[in-house]
Amino acid sequence: MIQPATSERALILAPLGRDSQIAMMLLNEAGFDGVISADLPHLCSELEQGAGLLLISSEALLRSDLGPLLALIDQQPAWSDLPIVLLTHHGGPEQNPASRFGPQLGNVTFLERPFHPETLISLVATALRGRRRQYEARDRLVDLSQSELRLQNTLETLEQQVEERTAQLRHNEEVLRQSQKMEAVGQLTGGIAHDFNNMLTGIIGSLELLRRRLARGRTDDLDSLIDLGVTSANRAAGLTHRLLAFSRRQSLDSKPVEMNTLVVSMGELLQRSIDESIRLEMQLSEQLWVAEADPNQLESALLNLVINARDAMPDGGKLVVTTSNQRLEKPFTDLHSNLSPGDYVKLSVSDSGCGMPQSTINRAFDPFFTTKPIGQGTGLGLSMIYGFSKQSRGHVAIQSKVGEGTTVSLYLPRYGGDLPQDQPADSQHPLFAQNGETVLIVEDDPAVRALVSTVLSDLGYAFVEACDADSAVPIFDSAQRIDLLISDVGLPGMNGRQLAEIGRQYRPGLKVLFITGYAEHAAVRGGFLDPGMQMITKPFTFDLLTAKVREMISA
């Protein structure tokens, strides 16, 4: 980092006459520090040590190799825009051929000679003020980077290997250029820390109490402590899920969705979620297209919108759920990078509540932003819907007027393929292994590997373990029986998807169950899974794991 002693000095290059000495004297009298350079190479050498501005005479740029100087200017970090004062002669471009270098030099101010001393000092003072603001921007960038590290450390303490990379923290330079996003980053960091610390308190506290009671031989009322720990852990898992949804990194299982059927099936749940003083209406289009989306995430989004609408009507009112077909044309989709012109299915939730001012609408999708009282909202509902819509190649919009109500509309792409045929109901699969079925478990986390193998062992399955893909490949190339491969997606080196491809080269038709906490390339399952492959996300219940194992081995 540039040291304070050099960060505000003026580097002077005026080799003809006494310009350099006069400029140095004027700067010193005004309280500014400076260094006189004999030639351009010396100036570049000093510039590498740091400078507040350059003071260069136009003749110094002529008949000199400007390559090193221009290279240093081009290599400035994003926060830097080095001020340059170029001393010229009176008479315009004809008398100042060096002025053509102005665009290449960047932040240049021209000062005609002869100049008044106060003019020079004023230009230098202005340049240094701008330079100090650049240093402040640099320091904010460093602070933001340190905040990101602290956030990552907080997530790692959950031992769920959550790799939450939010849009705000992935674009630090953009945050600096757009200062209004700084508050959103602080809101995100504080919200995660607050919620996770509460959940960790429940998890760690319940485990400590369990240890104390078992040490004293007390076995009464242990179920309540276990329930407390599991509840807190599930809340933490839900929070990471919503964060991944906001950052568009959740694993989506997109498929054809009959929107009207989904809304009607949720009618009873939606009715129970609102107050008796609120009248729920459904206005569903009869000729509605089939949408393409993850139905579970869509249900969660609809429930969130209805709850938000309920909270906006504390004194009662009307809540309307509407479906319709919508054609989005190019002038609209050009404003949104993830949208393509075409057919969309629109789901809207309208309320007659208090409405929102424009300042609130502008921040409504920010993570952890909420207008609800403390303890009554996480501020992740709309941000999750925003991420879900973008990852689904859709769109979400808010229309609201204070005192009149709010409408939130979710646009999802129309399904363009052939509708799948109804599948017969699954038959009951045996609970325990029947004939020595063997599972290959590939997981780099020893704790997860041990838990999975223990669960399978309890069900009578044989298992073989590997900590990475390199250790698993020789097992495929052996006589070892393998009925199912269970593999983490995010393995070190070769990932789980690549390992499955190699496994199927050795053993065609190999069944594969992927487990993942976060995998960017597995975010859309339809493009990730081949026939005979399924996926579950961490953290998962052992009931789900055993059900998937039984289903896939019995198939």
Instruction: Measure the CA–CA gap between 263 and 215, rounded to whole angstroms.
Output: 51
Most confident of 100-114, 341-355, 381-395, 444-458: 341-355
pLDDT class for 232, splitting at 50, 70, 90?
A: low
Instruction: Measure the CA–CA gap between 181 and 367, rounded to whole angstroms.
Output: 12
| Residue 259 placed within a domain | yes
| Residue 428 placed within a domain | no
Mean pLDDT of 483-502: 88
Query: Would you give the end-to-end CA distance of the chain in angstroms?
Result: 62
Same domain, 367 and 492: no
Same domain, 242 and 259: no
pLDDT of amino acid 109: 85
Helices (H), 2-116: 4-7, 19-29, 40-47, 58-61, 67-74, 102-105
CATH number at residue 384: 3.30.565.10
* C-alpha separations of 359 from 308, 397, 425, 452 in Å: 18, 15, 50, 49
What would the pLDDT profile of 519-546 be if each residue is shown by its tens digit?
Answer: 444 444 445 678 888 888 777 777 888 8
241 or 205, which is more confident = 205
Query: Would you say residue 340 has pLDDT above 90?
Result: no
What would the pLDDT profile of 100-110 be if each residue is shown by its tens digit?
Answer: 777 888 888 88
CATH number at residue 186: 1.10.287
Residue reference for tokens 């919108």: 305
Can you give 208-276 as a three-state secondary structure string?
Answer: HHHHHHHHCCCCCCHHHHHHHHHHHHHHHHHHHHHHHHHCCCCCECCEEECHHHHHHHCHHHHHHHCCC
CATH number at residue 534: 3.40.50.2300
What would the pLDDT profile of 233-255 be if each residue is shown by its tens digit?
Answer: 666 655 565 555 444 444 566 78
Query: End of a domain among 216, 246, 276?
Result: 246
Mean pLDDT of 39-50: 89
pLDDT of amino acid 99: 66
pLDDT class for 290, splitting at 50, 70, 90?
A: very high
How many domains in the chain?
4
pLDDT of amino acid 320: 94
Instruction: Measure the CA–CA gap between 312 and 308, rounded to whole angstroms.
Output: 6
Compute the half-sphere exposure of residue 58: CA atoms within 13 Å on the CB side of its CA.
Answer: 21
Which DSSP symbol is given to 34?
Answer: E
Tokens found for residue 291: 């949408």
Same domain, 521 and 449: yes
Mean pLDDT of 329-358: 88
The torsion angles phi and psi of 187, rounded to 5 degrees, stand at: -65, -40
77 or 173, which is more confident = 77
Same domain, 205 and 223: yes
pLDDT of amino acid 464: 92
pLDDT of amino acid 283: 92
Percent of the chain past pLDDT 70, that is, above it, reads: 75
Mean pLDDT of the chain: 79
Helices 381-391 and 295-311: angle between axes, nearest 10 degrees: 150
| Residue 21 placed within a domain | yes
Same domain, 240 and 259: no
pLDDT of amino acid 167: 55
pLDDT of amino acid 495: 86
Query: Would you say residue 187 has pLDDT above 80?
Result: no
Same domain, 16 and 113: yes
Query: Would you say residue 474 has pLDDT above 90?
Result: yes
pLDDT class for 351, splitting at 50, 70, 90?
A: very high
Percent of the chain past pLDDT 90, that is, above it, reads: 17
Residue range of the domain that includes 219 = 167-246
Instruction: Measure the CA–CA gap between 70 and 414, rounded to whole angstroms.
Output: 53
Instruction: Measure the CA–CA gap between 321 and 325, rounded to whole angstroms.
Output: 14
Query: End of a domain among 198, 221, 246?
Result: 246
| Residue 422 placed within a domain | no
pLDDT of amino acid 510: 92
Q: Residue 370, Cβ neighbours under 10 Å: how many?
A: 21
Same domain, 32 and 98: yes
Same domain, 484 and 460: yes
470 with 494: CB under 8 angstroms?
Answer: yes
Closest CA to 308 of 405, 413, 169: 405
| Residue 432 placed within a domain | no
Same domain, 401 and 308: yes
Same domain, 353 and 469: no
Query: End of a domain among 201, 220, 246?
Result: 246
246 or 400, which is more confident = 400
Omega before 539 cis (within 30°)?
yes
pLDDT of amino acid 547: 85
| Residue 317 placed within a domain | yes
Same domain, 133 and 171: no
| Residue 151 placed within a domain | no
Instruction: Measure the CA–CA gap between 53 and 190, rounded to whole angstroms.
Output: 39
pTM of the model: 0.42
> How many residues appear in the chain?
555
Which DSSP symbol is given to 129?
Answer: H
| Residue 159 placed within a domain | no
Same domain, 289 and 387: yes
Instruction: Measure the CA–CA gap between 344 and 295, rounded to whole angstroms.
Output: 16
